[in-house]
Structure 1
Amino acid sequence: MRYAFFLLLRATPAWLRLSRNQRRALTDLHLAPLLVGPEAVRMRYFDAEAFTADASDVMMIETEDPRHHYFFMERLRDSPMFTVPYFELRQIVPAIEEGYALYEEARLAPPT
């Protein structure tokens, strides 16, 4: 089963005041290391500020183990991305990729 967690983020003025090169350097320094190791998760990043005022960015975290997402979030909360803060966490939307198909498969499987 593959889990996806959509983190709705809002960039703070501290982040927006940085140059694009500074932002890239901070991301490489503080975010990239969170995506490696035995509890690694996959991340995709989306810009949303041109389309909504609720969130400036959407981070999608994918994993087969929800504990890995939890551990990622603990490390993220300890990073300058949240402690300065450069971003505010507005909402987390958890989802299961193709959950309906998994349900249907389980319902149609012969009893064991």
Structure 2
Amino acid sequence: MIKIYHNPRCSKSREALGILETQKEDYHVIKYMDELISIEKLKELIKLLKINPIELVRTNESIWKENFKNSNLTNDELIAAMAKHPKLIERPIVINGNKAVIGRPPQKILDIL
């Protein structure tokens, strides 16, 4: 089953959800702002996405700018920051089996469906 890590307040996340709805595929919505993502799960997502942890960070968020911008964080520290502050996590993330993508732009999710 397809999973989408979704933030209803994000327009790109809503667009991605709309694409999933039109594809007539079963999917499960994870509202990661409500259901916090563990450090272990973030590590799994990063591995599936085949990216470095910093690539999952929303560096324009005020939390990042105020608390982390000029810090030289390790990958583990970046992941811990995202687990503590889920607003820092880039969205939406869509997973289909062993494939995953950050839906920016939302049409990118079509690559893994």
| Fold shared, TM-score > 0.5 on shorter chain | no
Q: TM-score range by the shorter chain?
A: under 0.3
If the length of structure 1 is used for normalisation, what is the TM-score? Answer: 0.26
If the length of structure 2 is used for normalisation, what is the TM-score? Answer: 0.26
Larger Rg: 1
Larger fraction in strand: 1
